Structure 1
Amino acid sequence: MIIIYYKNRFISISESESSTLNSINIEFNKIHDINIEIYKFLANNNIKNLHLFGKNPEKILKKLKKSFNYVKAAGGVVVNENNEILFIKRRGKWDLPKGKKDKGESIQITAIREVSEECGIDPEFILLKNYIDSTWHIYDESTEFILKRTYWYTMKYVGNEELVPQADEDITQAKWFNLHKLEKPLNKTFLNIQYIIELFISQCK
């Protein structure tokens, strides 16, 4: 199943109908205009889950991508030698460091660069480890909606620098949290971040 997060709600795509509570099921082949259905969902906070289903989920996703300005990004679950995970705080929400891919840049380099820039740490101390997964989410930027796919990696930080949050990106804090005490950041973060952290922890077992 493909999940596209929007704030505390989501669009899901699969081959069959969803049985999720508060989910609106729409068969892709019967949609006259996918844009209308998408923007109905975005405008109505009472719709918790819009579920699009059909024989070819990738085809549905491809069609949906045309409704948005689509960007690629990358970021990391960064762990230091004290078994702590690096979080940033932006606009009142805890998040993981990530950012948009520059033209001609590999997605792995994007991930390291963005962690370095957003947290003020030397990229030489950031060791790229395993690929975790990618997430999709929609966000508002000025008068348009952006669809972003973010590729996530496990990283090991081997330095001992003071964290410097990137103020021009509205980041007010960069902070290490104990891997076993993540209630504070996870209670005030996004659904896609919760998913990535849960997946990361499960992969560590």
Structure 2
Amino acid sequence: MALLAAPLFAAETPEPTTLLIAVTLPAGAEEELAEESLRTAESVLARSGAPIAIVLCAKADKRPCRSRYPDPRIWVRLKNESELDQSLGRGSVFGRAYLNEQGTGGTMADVFLNRVRSHALEMGVREAALLGHAIAHEVGHLLLGRNSHSVSGLMAAKWDGAELTMAAHGRLVFLRSEADEVRRRTALRLRPAESAIALSAVRRD
């Protein structure tokens, strides 16, 4: 990703034109799998028409990633679920998004690698494809806010045969109305004042 140098004495910092999402990996995780899944997630999110880019941070510690990518607006942590995470229930629940108190959006989500792997093996779906769509789903929650599950498509609350088949072929995407809202909210998120509103993410969805 090329960065343009700003004038040394610029009166204002130019607004970013792309919403940057940083994805962190736990120690020992397969980077090749993660990279393939991120390409899938970025492709799915790009189908909305929103200017979104995803970068991979190989370590769960954010500091090295921040030095390379100083302005991520969203963080997604790929991790194995802990006992605290098991309250989410089973089935096709692959992660959680942390929303702000207003429920309008957030900046942090978790996606559980062990859940994705288990479900991919059980349903005969490529793990990288399912993981990529799970990442895009949680990013959707962070952008769309509370009550953003739908009856079909990427934001369906439960992924059954139809959704899994589409995910396997990279075709599980936002509904048209959702894509419109993702573009609108991404544009707002790229404004510094609006981006600050998305902080203090404490609610889970």
Higher helix share: 2
Higher strand share: 1
Where on the TM-score scale, by shorter chain, does this alignment land: which range? under 0.3
**Structure having greater relative contact order (Cα 8 Å, sep ≥ 6):** 2
